[in-house]
Amino acid sequence: MSFLMPLRIEKRASDSQVMAVLSPLMAMILTLVTGAAVFASLGHAPGEALYTFFILPLSDVYGWTELGVKVAPLLLCAMGLMVCFKAKIWNIGAEGQFIIGALGGGYLALELAAFESAWALPLVLFFGASCGLAWAALAAFLKTRFAANEILTTIMLNYIALNLLLFAVHGPLKDPDGYSFPESALFSDFTMLPLISEDYRLNISVFFALAAVAIIWTLMARTFIGFQISVLGEDASAARFAGFKEKRLVWFSLLVCGALAGLAGVSEVSGPIGQLNPYVSPGYGYTAIIVVFLGRMHPLGMVGASMLLALTYMGGEMVQMDLSLPKSITGLFQGMLLFYLLACDFLIGYRFVARGHLTGASDGS
Protein backbone atom coordinates (compact mmCIF):
# COMPACT_ATOMS: atom_id res chain seq x y z
CA MET A 1 0.00 0.00 0.00
CA SER A 2 2.90 2.30 0.66
CA PHE A 3 3.65 2.74 -3.04
CA LEU A 4 0.40 4.56 -3.54
CA MET A 5 0.82 7.06 -0.75
CA PRO A 6 2.56 10.35 -1.43
CA LEU A 7 3.01 10.71 2.30
CA ARG A 8 4.31 8.20 4.72
CA ILE A 9 3.73 7.87 8.40
CA GLU A 10 6.63 8.04 10.72
CA LYS A 11 6.94 7.71 14.45
CA ARG A 12 8.10 10.86 16.16
CA ALA A 13 11.27 10.64 18.20
CA SER A 14 9.30 11.95 21.15
CA ASP A 15 5.65 12.86 21.67
CA SER A 16 4.72 16.26 20.30
CA GLN A 17 3.66 18.65 23.04
CA VAL A 18 2.24 21.04 20.44
CA MET A 19 -0.03 18.36 19.00
CA ALA A 20 -1.17 17.40 22.49
CA VAL A 21 -2.63 20.90 22.81
CA LEU A 22 -3.78 21.21 19.19
CA SER A 23 -5.51 17.85 19.07
CA PRO A 24 -8.53 18.86 21.22
CA LEU A 25 -8.93 22.01 19.11
CA MET A 26 -8.80 19.98 15.90
CA ALA A 27 -11.35 17.58 17.37
CA MET A 28 -13.67 20.48 18.17
CA ILE A 29 -13.41 21.85 14.64
CA LEU A 30 -14.07 18.42 13.12
CA THR A 31 -17.06 18.00 15.44
CA LEU A 32 -18.44 21.36 14.33
CA VAL A 33 -17.99 20.46 10.66
CA THR A 34 -19.65 17.07 11.11
CA GLY A 35 -22.36 18.69 13.23
CA ALA A 36 -23.05 21.15 10.42
CA ALA A 37 -23.36 18.23 8.00
CA VAL A 38 -25.76 16.45 10.36
CA PHE A 39 -27.93 19.54 10.68
CA ALA A 40 -27.87 20.08 6.91
CA SER A 41 -28.91 16.48 6.27
CA LEU A 42 -31.86 17.03 8.59
CA GLY A 43 -32.94 20.01 6.53
CA HIS A 44 -31.74 22.82 8.78
CA ALA A 45 -29.46 25.65 7.76
CA PRO A 46 -26.16 24.49 9.29
CA GLY A 47 -24.92 27.92 10.36
CA GLU A 48 -28.17 28.80 12.05
CA ALA A 49 -28.43 25.39 13.73
CA LEU A 50 -24.88 25.54 15.08
CA TYR A 51 -25.61 29.04 16.33
CA THR A 52 -28.71 27.70 18.10
CA PHE A 53 -26.70 24.85 19.59
CA PHE A 54 -23.52 26.60 20.70
CA ILE A 55 -24.14 30.35 20.94
CA LEU A 56 -27.79 30.96 21.70
CA PRO A 57 -27.75 29.13 25.07
CA LEU A 58 -25.13 31.60 26.31
CA SER A 59 -26.72 34.77 25.00
CA ASP A 60 -27.84 36.05 28.40
CA VAL A 61 -26.87 35.98 32.08
CA TYR A 62 -29.38 33.21 32.75
CA GLY A 63 -27.61 31.04 30.17
CA TRP A 64 -24.23 31.51 31.82
CA THR A 65 -25.64 30.67 35.26
CA GLU A 66 -27.21 27.52 33.82
CA LEU A 67 -23.82 26.64 32.37
CA GLY A 68 -22.45 26.87 35.91
CA VAL A 69 -25.24 24.59 37.16
CA LYS A 70 -24.01 21.89 34.76
CA VAL A 71 -20.29 22.60 35.03
CA ALA A 72 -20.30 21.97 38.79
CA PRO A 73 -21.27 18.26 38.73
CA LEU A 74 -19.24 17.56 35.58
CA LEU A 75 -16.10 19.13 36.98
CA LEU A 76 -16.44 17.41 40.37
CA CYS A 77 -16.78 13.99 38.72
CA ALA A 78 -14.04 14.72 36.21
CA MET A 79 -11.49 15.79 38.82
CA GLY A 80 -12.06 12.52 40.64
CA LEU A 81 -11.81 10.48 37.45
CA MET A 82 -8.62 12.26 36.51
CA VAL A 83 -6.88 10.97 39.64
CA CYS A 84 -7.91 7.42 38.70
CA PHE A 85 -7.00 7.73 35.02
CA LYS A 86 -3.59 9.18 35.92
CA ALA A 87 -2.94 5.92 37.72
CA LYS A 88 -4.41 4.01 34.71
CA ILE A 89 -7.23 2.81 36.93
CA TRP A 90 -10.14 2.72 34.51
CA ASN A 91 -12.89 3.77 36.88
CA ILE A 92 -16.05 4.16 34.80
CA GLY A 93 -18.07 4.32 37.99
CA ALA A 94 -18.48 8.05 38.54
CA GLU A 95 -22.08 7.73 37.35
CA GLY A 96 -22.94 5.17 40.04
CA GLN A 97 -21.01 7.06 42.71
CA PHE A 98 -22.91 10.19 41.72
CA ILE A 99 -26.26 8.40 41.98
CA ILE A 100 -25.46 6.81 45.33
CA GLY A 101 -24.27 10.19 46.64
CA ALA A 102 -27.58 11.68 45.55
CA LEU A 103 -29.55 8.78 47.01
CA GLY A 104 -27.72 8.72 50.36
CA GLY A 105 -27.69 12.48 50.78
CA GLY A 106 -31.28 12.67 49.63
CA TYR A 107 -32.31 10.02 52.15
CA LEU A 108 -30.73 12.00 54.98
CA ALA A 109 -32.27 15.25 53.71
CA LEU A 110 -35.71 13.63 53.89
CA GLU A 111 -35.01 12.28 57.38
CA LEU A 112 -33.92 15.74 58.49
CA ALA A 113 -37.01 17.44 57.06
CA ALA A 114 -37.97 18.74 60.52
CA PHE A 115 -34.40 19.50 61.66
CA GLU A 116 -34.34 23.26 61.27
CA SER A 117 -30.69 23.92 61.93
CA ALA A 118 -27.74 25.27 59.99
CA TRP A 119 -26.12 21.88 60.59
CA ALA A 120 -28.64 20.08 58.40
CA LEU A 121 -27.01 20.97 55.07
CA PRO A 122 -23.40 20.14 56.02
CA LEU A 123 -24.59 16.81 57.41
CA VAL A 124 -26.44 16.01 54.21
CA LEU A 125 -23.48 16.96 52.02
CA PHE A 126 -21.04 15.02 54.15
CA PHE A 127 -23.26 11.96 54.16
CA GLY A 128 -23.79 12.12 50.39
CA ALA A 129 -20.06 12.35 49.72
CA SER A 130 -19.47 9.46 52.15
CA CYS A 131 -22.00 7.30 50.34
CA GLY A 132 -20.28 7.97 47.03
CA LEU A 133 -16.99 7.11 48.68
CA ALA A 134 -18.41 3.88 50.07
CA TRP A 135 -19.70 2.91 46.61
CA ALA A 136 -16.23 3.47 45.14
CA ALA A 137 -14.76 1.51 48.04
CA LEU A 138 -16.65 -1.54 46.76
CA ALA A 139 -14.79 -1.30 43.45
CA ALA A 140 -11.50 -0.70 45.26
CA PHE A 141 -12.08 -3.75 47.43
CA LEU A 142 -12.95 -5.92 44.44
CA LYS A 143 -9.86 -4.75 42.60
CA THR A 144 -7.33 -5.00 45.41
CA ARG A 145 -8.68 -8.14 47.07
CA PHE A 146 -9.80 -10.16 44.04
CA ALA A 147 -8.03 -8.42 41.15
CA ALA A 148 -11.46 -8.03 39.52
CA ASN A 149 -11.35 -5.83 36.42
CA GLU A 150 -12.42 -2.36 37.55
CA ILE A 151 -13.95 -1.40 34.20
CA LEU A 152 -16.50 -4.17 34.46
CA THR A 153 -17.12 -3.92 38.21
CA THR A 154 -17.66 -0.15 38.13
CA ILE A 155 -20.03 -0.43 35.15
CA MET A 156 -22.01 -3.12 36.95
CA LEU A 157 -22.08 -0.95 40.09
CA ASN A 158 -23.50 1.87 37.95
CA TYR A 159 -26.42 -0.29 36.88
CA ILE A 160 -26.96 -1.51 40.43
CA ALA A 161 -26.89 2.08 41.73
CA LEU A 162 -29.49 3.16 39.19
CA ASN A 163 -31.77 0.29 40.17
CA LEU A 164 -31.33 1.15 43.86
CA LEU A 165 -32.41 4.70 43.09
CA LEU A 166 -35.42 3.46 41.13
CA PHE A 167 -36.33 1.11 43.96
CA ALA A 168 -36.09 3.97 46.48
CA VAL A 169 -38.24 6.44 44.55
CA HIS A 170 -40.84 3.82 43.66
CA GLY A 171 -40.87 2.43 47.17
CA PRO A 172 -39.54 3.52 50.56
CA LEU A 173 -38.65 7.13 49.69
CA LYS A 174 -41.68 7.89 47.53
CA ASP A 175 -43.63 10.96 48.57
CA PRO A 176 -46.82 9.67 50.24
CA ASP A 177 -48.63 12.82 49.05
CA GLY A 178 -47.09 12.74 45.60
CA TYR A 179 -49.88 11.00 43.69
CA SER A 180 -48.36 8.19 41.67
CA PHE A 181 -45.16 9.90 40.53
CA PRO A 182 -41.93 8.11 41.45
CA GLU A 183 -40.53 11.08 43.36
CA SER A 184 -39.63 11.86 46.94
CA ALA A 185 -41.04 14.79 48.88
CA LEU A 186 -39.33 18.15 48.31
CA PHE A 187 -36.38 18.79 50.62
CA SER A 188 -36.71 21.41 53.35
CA ASP A 189 -34.96 24.74 52.87
CA PHE A 190 -32.45 23.82 55.57
CA THR A 191 -31.08 21.00 53.43
CA MET A 192 -30.85 23.04 50.23
CA LEU A 193 -27.63 24.63 48.95
CA PRO A 194 -27.71 28.44 49.12
CA LEU A 195 -28.24 30.15 45.77
CA ILE A 196 -25.69 32.66 44.56
CA SER A 197 -28.48 34.96 43.40
CA GLU A 198 -32.19 34.55 44.06
CA ASP A 199 -33.00 35.01 40.38
CA TYR A 200 -31.05 32.01 39.11
CA ARG A 201 -30.60 28.31 39.88
CA LEU A 202 -26.82 28.58 40.28
CA ASN A 203 -25.80 27.60 43.80
CA ILE A 204 -22.56 27.38 45.76
CA SER A 205 -21.75 23.89 44.44
CA VAL A 206 -19.84 25.63 41.65
CA PHE A 207 -17.40 26.76 44.38
CA PHE A 208 -17.07 23.14 45.53
CA ALA A 209 -16.05 22.30 41.98
CA LEU A 210 -13.48 25.11 41.80
CA ALA A 211 -12.11 24.08 45.20
CA ALA A 212 -11.83 20.52 43.91
CA VAL A 213 -9.83 21.77 40.92
CA ALA A 214 -7.41 23.59 43.22
CA ILE A 215 -7.09 20.71 45.68
CA ILE A 216 -6.65 17.98 43.07
CA TRP A 217 -4.19 20.14 41.14
CA THR A 218 -2.11 20.61 44.29
CA LEU A 219 -2.45 16.95 45.13
CA MET A 220 -1.19 15.78 41.75
CA ALA A 221 1.49 18.42 41.21
CA ARG A 222 2.84 19.03 44.70
CA THR A 223 2.41 15.98 46.89
CA PHE A 224 4.24 12.69 47.12
CA ILE A 225 1.09 10.63 46.80
CA GLY A 226 0.20 12.52 43.61
CA PHE A 227 3.64 11.72 42.28
CA GLN A 228 3.22 8.05 43.18
CA ILE A 229 -0.10 7.97 41.34
CA SER A 230 1.48 9.41 38.19
CA VAL A 231 4.36 6.93 38.33
CA LEU A 232 1.98 4.02 38.80
CA GLY A 233 0.14 5.12 35.68
CA GLU A 234 3.26 5.71 33.60
CA ASP A 235 5.04 2.52 34.51
CA ALA A 236 3.51 0.12 37.03
CA SER A 237 6.65 -1.98 37.33
CA ALA A 238 8.76 1.09 38.08
CA ALA A 239 6.28 2.02 40.80
CA ARG A 240 6.55 -1.44 42.29
CA PHE A 241 10.33 -1.34 42.06
CA ALA A 242 10.35 1.99 43.89
CA GLY A 243 8.39 0.33 46.68
CA PHE A 244 5.17 2.26 46.19
CA LYS A 245 2.20 0.48 47.73
CA GLU A 246 0.07 -0.16 44.67
CA LYS A 247 -3.02 -1.30 46.54
CA ARG A 248 -2.98 1.75 48.74
CA LEU A 249 -2.82 3.99 45.66
CA VAL A 250 -5.75 2.14 44.09
CA TRP A 251 -7.79 2.66 47.25
CA PHE A 252 -6.81 6.30 47.47
CA SER A 253 -7.62 7.16 43.83
CA LEU A 254 -10.97 5.42 43.86
CA LEU A 255 -12.01 6.88 47.21
CA VAL A 256 -11.13 10.41 46.10
CA CYS A 257 -13.22 9.93 42.98
CA GLY A 258 -16.10 8.39 44.92
CA ALA A 259 -16.20 11.25 47.41
CA LEU A 260 -16.13 13.91 44.70
CA ALA A 261 -18.73 12.18 42.54
CA GLY A 262 -20.88 11.60 45.63
CA LEU A 263 -20.61 15.27 46.52
CA ALA A 264 -21.64 16.12 42.96
CA GLY A 265 -24.65 13.85 43.30
CA VAL A 266 -25.87 15.19 46.62
CA SER A 267 -25.30 18.76 45.42
CA GLU A 268 -27.53 18.05 42.44
CA VAL A 269 -30.47 16.83 44.55
CA SER A 270 -29.91 19.47 47.24
CA GLY A 271 -29.60 22.07 44.50
CA PRO A 272 -31.33 22.37 41.14
CA ILE A 273 -33.54 19.27 41.62
CA GLY A 274 -34.56 19.65 45.27
CA GLN A 275 -35.90 16.09 45.62
CA LEU A 276 -35.13 12.53 44.57
CA ASN A 277 -36.47 11.35 41.23
CA PRO A 278 -35.37 8.75 38.65
CA TYR A 279 -33.55 11.37 36.57
CA VAL A 280 -31.02 12.80 39.01
CA SER A 281 -28.21 12.37 36.48
CA PRO A 282 -28.32 13.03 32.73
CA GLY A 283 -25.18 10.92 32.43
CA TYR A 284 -22.81 13.37 34.13
CA GLY A 285 -20.60 10.50 35.31
CA TYR A 286 -20.06 9.26 31.75
CA THR A 287 -19.70 12.70 30.20
CA ALA A 288 -17.05 13.49 32.82
CA ILE A 289 -14.88 10.83 31.16
CA ILE A 290 -14.86 12.95 28.00
CA VAL A 291 -14.03 16.03 30.09
CA VAL A 292 -10.91 14.28 31.41
CA PHE A 293 -9.67 13.25 27.97
CA LEU A 294 -10.56 16.50 26.24
CA GLY A 295 -8.99 18.53 29.06
CA ARG A 296 -5.77 16.53 28.67
CA MET A 297 -5.94 15.61 32.38
CA HIS A 298 -4.80 19.15 33.11
CA PRO A 299 -6.96 21.02 35.66
CA LEU A 300 -7.28 24.16 33.56
CA GLY A 301 -7.93 22.22 30.38
CA MET A 302 -10.61 20.28 32.23
CA VAL A 303 -12.32 23.49 33.37
CA GLY A 304 -12.57 24.51 29.71
CA ALA A 305 -13.66 21.03 28.63
CA SER A 306 -16.36 20.87 31.31
CA MET A 307 -17.75 24.18 30.06
CA LEU A 308 -17.89 22.89 26.50
CA LEU A 309 -19.59 19.64 27.50
CA ALA A 310 -22.00 21.48 29.80
CA LEU A 311 -22.83 23.57 26.76
CA THR A 312 -23.69 20.45 24.74
CA TYR A 313 -26.45 19.68 27.26
CA MET A 314 -27.84 23.20 26.91
CA GLY A 315 -27.47 23.13 23.13
CA GLY A 316 -29.43 19.88 22.98
CA GLU A 317 -32.28 21.45 24.90
CA MET A 318 -32.11 24.56 22.74
CA VAL A 319 -32.35 22.73 19.40
CA GLN A 320 -35.18 20.66 20.84
CA MET A 321 -37.09 23.85 21.62
CA ASP A 322 -36.20 25.88 18.52
CA LEU A 323 -35.72 23.26 15.80
CA SER A 324 -37.76 20.42 17.37
CA LEU A 325 -34.87 17.98 17.06
CA PRO A 326 -34.52 15.30 19.76
CA LYS A 327 -32.38 16.53 22.63
CA SER A 328 -30.45 13.25 22.54
CA ILE A 329 -28.38 15.00 19.87
CA THR A 330 -26.30 16.00 22.91
CA GLY A 331 -24.97 12.45 23.20
CA LEU A 332 -24.17 12.42 19.50
CA PHE A 333 -22.04 15.56 19.78
CA GLN A 334 -20.31 14.25 22.91
CA GLY A 335 -19.48 10.92 21.30
CA MET A 336 -18.19 12.56 18.10
CA LEU A 337 -15.98 14.86 20.10
CA LEU A 338 -14.31 11.98 21.91
CA PHE A 339 -13.91 9.98 18.69
CA TYR A 340 -12.27 12.83 16.82
CA LEU A 341 -10.04 13.52 19.80
CA LEU A 342 -8.75 9.95 19.86
CA ALA A 343 -8.16 10.08 16.11
CA CYS A 344 -6.28 13.39 16.28
CA ASP A 345 -4.17 12.07 19.13
CA PHE A 346 -2.49 9.85 16.55
CA LEU A 347 -0.55 12.96 15.51
CA ILE A 348 0.97 13.27 18.97
CA GLY A 349 3.06 10.16 18.48
CA TYR A 350 3.26 10.03 14.68
CA ARG A 351 3.61 12.41 11.79
CA PHE A 352 3.22 12.48 8.04
CA VAL A 353 6.31 13.13 5.99
CA ALA A 354 6.68 13.48 2.24
CA ARG A 355 7.85 10.31 0.55
CA GLY A 356 11.55 10.38 -0.19
CA HIS A 357 12.17 13.10 2.36
CA LEU A 358 14.62 11.70 4.86
CA THR A 359 14.52 12.54 8.51
CA GLY A 360 16.48 10.98 11.26
CA ALA A 361 13.67 11.13 13.75
CA SER A 362 12.38 7.65 13.17
CA ASP A 363 15.71 6.02 13.93
CA GLY A 364 15.69 3.93 17.00
CA SER A 365 11.93 3.52 17.07
Partner 1 sequence: MDLDLLLNVLFATIRTGTPLLLIALGELVCEKSGVLNLGQEGMVLMGAVSGFIATVLTGSLLLGVIAGMMAGMLMSFLFGVLAITLVSNQVATGLALTIFGTGLSAFLGASYVGVGIEGITAWNLPFLSEIPLLGQVLFSQDPLVYLSWSIFALVYICFRSTRVGLTVRAVGENPEAANALGMSVFTVRYLAVLFGGAMAGLAGAYLSLAYTPLWSEGMSAGRGWIALALVVFASWKVQRVMLGAYLFGAASIMHLVLQGMGFEISPNILAMLPYVATILVLVVIASDAGRARLSAPLALGQPYRPQW
Choice between 170 and 201, CB closer to partner 1? 170
In the complex, minimum distance from the CB of residue 8 to partner 1, in angstroms, rounded to a whole number: 6
User: Residue 267 or residue 296: which is nearer to partner 1 going by CB?
Assistant: 296
CA distance 263 to 124: 10
Give, in degrees to the nearest 5, the angle at Cα 216 between 346 and 238. 60
Provide the minimum distance between the beta carbon of 118 and partner 1 in the complex, in angstroms, as a whole number: 35
* Comparison of 146 and 179: residue with beta carbon closer to partner 1: 146
3-class secondary-structure state, position 354:
strand
Tally Cβ neighbours within 10 Å of residue 242: 11
- Is the distance from CB of 263 to CB of 99 less than 8 angstroms? no
CB-CB contact of 201 with 69 (8 Å): yes
Minimum distance from CB of 168 to partner 1 (Å)? Answer: 9
Q: Given the complex with partner 1, which of 24 and 68 has the nearer CB atom?
A: 24
Smallest distance from partner 1 to CB 228, Å:
22
Nearer to partner 1, 105 or 316 (CB): 316
Which amino acid would we find at residue 241? F
In order of 148, 208, 267, the CA distances from 151 in angstroms are: 9, 27, 26
Distance in Å, CB of 285 to partner 1, minimum: 11
Residue 195 carries which DSSP code?
A: B
The residue (of 158 and 270) whose beta carbon lies closer to partner 1 is 158
Angle, helices 299-323 vs 17-41, to 10°: value is 0
- Measured from the CB of residue 333, what is the shortest distance to partner 1 in angstroms? 8
Closest separation in Å from C-beta 350 to partner 1: 8
Judged by beta carbon, residue 35 or residue 271, the one nearer partner 1 is 35
Give whichever of 23 and 130 is closer to partner 1, judged by the CB atom. 23
Q: Classify strands 350-354 and 7-11 as parallel, antiparallel or unpaired.
A: antiparallel
Specify the residue, 300 or 343, whose C-beta has the smaller distance to partner 1.
343
Binding site for partner 1 (CB under 8 A): 2, 8-9, 11, 90, 92, 142, 146-149, 151-153, 155-157, 159-160, 163-164, 166-167, 170-171, 286, 289-290, 293, 326, 328-336, 338-339, 342-343, 345-346, 349-350
What's the CA gap between 49 and 27, in Å, rounded?
19
- Please list, in sequence order, all residues whose beta carbon lies within 8 angstroms of the beta carbon of residue 69, skipping any fewer than 6 positions away: 201, 202, 203, 206, 271, 272
d(CA 275, CA 44): 38
- Between CA 121 and CA 126 the distance in angstroms is 8
Nearest to 344 by CA among 8, 2, 25: 25
Contact 73, 267 (CB under 8 A): yes
Please give the Cα distance from 264 to 278 (Å, whole number): 16
Residue 61 Cβ, how far from partner 1 at the closest point, in Å? 29
| 344 phi, psi to nearest 5 deg | -65, -30
Q: How far is the CB of 92 from partner 1 (least distance, A)?
A: 7
Name every residue whose Cβ is closer than 8 Å to that of residue 90 and which is 6 or more positions away in sequence. 84, 150, 151, 154
